[in-house]
Amino acid sequence: MDKLCIRGQNPLRGEVAISGSKNAAVAIIPAALLANDVVTLENVPHIADVANLVSIMRDMHVQVDYLDEHTLRIDSRNMVNDCANSEGVRKMRASYYLLGVLLGRFKHARVAFPGGCDFGVRPIDLHVKGFEALGASVTTKAIIEMKATELLGTNIFLDFASVGATINIMLAAVLAHGTTVIENAAKEPHVVDTASFLNSMGADVKGAGTDTIRIRGVRRLHGSEYAIIPDQIEAGTYMVASAVTGGDIKITNVIPRHLDSISAKLREIGIRIREEDDAIRVIGGGRLKPTKVKTLPYPGFPTDMQPQMMVLLSMVNGTSMINESVTDNRFRYVEQLQKMGANIDVEGHIAIIEGVDRLSGSEVAATDLRAGAAMVLAGLAAEGTTYVTNINYIDRGYEGMVDKLKLLGADIERTGGSDPVLRVIKDHAG
Ligand code: UD1
């Protein structure tokens, strides 16, 4: 099993370029299958979740070629509609987008149950309600099966502004008859990016980024060339990396507006932030103040930045609080930070953090993707050596994290092998 070995307390300095957004890529790559044509996607992140999607699609006879490390050509003209037994689907939650895509294109989908990071109950009932409202009959047994004679546009009010349900309903509705209106829609940057991509293929989606999205169904979509937005959470993670090490990092290829809630919190704590058009400089050091954080749907503070923020607050003198209001059970990793000396008390959705002077190196496990990133940040800040295990979680969503951190001056090594994502891509080279 690969591990990371980190010798901490080097202030990070220099420049780091952010990769394409994981959460946009895992929606846009399957969305390309709606076109029955050729789609070229640029700025595709080089991560395990993408490699997994590529294998799932190749198993469905989709021709997927890497034109370069970050550019995918997807030709779905000869695809077969079958991923009911796919192991790949069971490995990641975002494979749920195949449901909306296959229902939209074929009016029939049989998809294995999606897996993914375990931070509590993560149902997909809102997705299913949306598909049913569009006219599909849905059965969920060992696999999820959906059928419709035709899909008819309708009004759908989401009980919760779910990212997955908003995107999935959009995917199914772009080829439906009539107009679908999603109310209380999620507003995350990747929802907007997916809508822009669908429009680039000839869809008619308006209002993405607001509470109300209107999708006027079209008869068919065509091929397109599209570049995926930069990853908001990867950028946020490097922002905190600078903060926890008292560093000075310029983070390039970002959309600073997507980082507003993160920048605002870091500024409140005492971190200096300078924004440019497509870069952000984060300067740590100095006296930091404790604060309160509540995770919320966009534009609120992202739940995917909660563990990273926890690491920072665990080293800020005084009492801070984190209220996790988006997911059910996302504090499992706290036990790992406690091994490093963090003083954190969790009760239900609330964590109370008493800042300590320093964390100490230890062996800790990544319990999910963002918790894994948090362990790396803790290791970078800690005194002594930290070993992070279960790093396959980190590979799912962070492109070249070790190399990027090394360039910033971190003392970090991966033991046990080379870049496994590259291996997957090479093994499946088309
Ligand atoms: C997406 C992101 C994930 C992020 C999360 C919240 C992708 C691939 N993943 O996940 O990184 O942490 O948004 O910003 O984009 N819920 C239901 N029923 C549903 C759907 C959701 O009860 O049908 C509840 C669940 O408790 C779930 C929470 O809402 O944990 C958030 O769900 P949602 O916004 O849909 O997030 P995900 O699609 O799981």
Give the distance (Å) from ligand 1 centre to CA of residue 126.
10
49 shares a domain with 154:
yes
Amino acid making up residue 232? Q
User: For position 426, what pLDDT does the model report?
Assistant: 53
Tokens of 207: 């209002």
Percent of the chain predicted with pLDDT > 70: 95
205 shares a domain with 342:
no
Tokens of 153: 């546009």
196 shares a domain with 345:
no
* List 35, 57, 117, 288, catalytic entry: 117
316 shares a domain with 303:
yes
Residue nearest to atom 25 of ligand 1 (CA): 122
First vs last C-alpha separation in the chain: 28
User: For position 143, what pLDDT does the model report?
Assistant: 87
Which pLDDT band holds residue 424 (cuts at 50, 70, 90)?
Answer: low
**pLDDT tens digits, 106-126:** 999 999 888 755 545 568 899
Tell me how far apart the alpha carbons of residues 295 and 288 are, in angstroms, rounded to a whole number: 21
Number of folded domains that form the chain: 2
**pLDDT tens digits, 356-386:** 999 999 999 999 999 999 999 999 999 999 9
**Domain of 154?**
22-227
375 shares a domain with 270:
yes
403 shares a domain with 315:
yes
Q: Which protein residues are within 6 Å of ligand 1, measured from CB?
A: 23, 26, 93-94, 122-127, 160, 162-165, 186, 190, 302-304, 326-328
325 shares a domain with 216:
no
237 shares a domain with 172:
no
Please choose from 95, 122, 129, 188 the residue to mutate so as to test ligand 1's pocket, defined by most ligand atoms within 8 A of CB.
122
- Report the CATH number that the domain containing residue 405 is assigned in CATH: 3.65.10.10
Tokens of 175: 């080829």
Residues 6+ apart with CB under 8 A from 249: 12, 13, 14, 15, 16, 238, 239, 241, 242, 281, 282, 408
User: For position 119, what pLDDT does the model report?
Assistant: 43
Q: Which atom of ligand 1 is nearest to the CA of 233?
A: 11
**pLDDT tens digits, 37-60:** 999 999 999 999 999 999 999 999
404 shares a domain with 324:
yes
User: For position 120, what pLDDT does the model report?
Assistant: 52
Of 196, 227, 258, the last residue of a domain is 227
Least confident of 110-119, 255-264, 333-342, 377-386: 110-119
Average pLDDT over residues 60-71: 96
Tell me how far apart the alpha carbons of residues 188 and 96 are, in angstroms, rounded to a whole number: 18
Check pLDDT > 80 for residue 418. no
Tell me how far apart the alpha carbons of residues 195 and 188 are, in angstroms, rounded to a whole number: 11
Least confident of 20-34, 73-87, 151-165, 238-252: 73-87
Average pLDDT over residues 207-223: 98
Give the distance (Å) from ligand 1 centre to CA of residue 373.
19
Of 208, 227, 246, the last residue of a domain is 227
User: For position 430, what pLDDT does the model report?
Assistant: 39
CA dihedral 46, 47, 51, 53 (to 10 degrees): -110
Which sign does the torsion angle of CA 133, 137, 140, 144 carry? negative
User: For position 429, what pLDDT does the model report?
Assistant: 46
239 shares a domain with 180:
no
| Secondary structure of residue 102 in the 3-state scheme | helix
Tokens of 168: 């999935």
Check pLDDT > 80 for residue 428. no
Check pLDDT > 50 for residue 19. yes
CB atoms under 10 Å from CB of 362, counted, come to 20
Q: Is 5 a catalytic residue?
A: no
Which pLDDT band holds residue 236 (cuts at 50, 70, 90)?
Answer: very high
| Strand 319-323 to 292-294 pairing | parallel
Please choose from 119, 159, 160 the residue to mutate so as to test ligand 1's pocket, defined by most ligand atoms within 8 A of CB.
160
Of 227, 259, 275, the last residue of a domain is 227
Strands of 61-131, DSSP E:
63-68, 71-75, 108-112
- Contact assessment for residue 340 and residue 382, using Cβ atoms and an 8 Å cutoff: yes
Residue nearest to atom 33 of ligand 1 (CA): 162
Which pLDDT band holds residue 84 (cuts at 50, 70, 90)?
Answer: confident
Q: Would you mind telling me the total number of residues written for the chain in this entry?
A: 430
Tell me how far apart the alpha carbons of residues 310 and 291 are, in angstroms, rounded to a whole number: 11
Tell me how far apart the alpha carbons of residues 97 and 78 are, in angstroms, rounded to a whole number: 20
248 shares a domain with 164:
no
191 shares a domain with 44:
yes
Q: Which atom of ligand 1 is nearest to the CA of 123?
A: 18
**pLDDT tens digits, 289-311:** 999 999 999 999 999 999 999 99
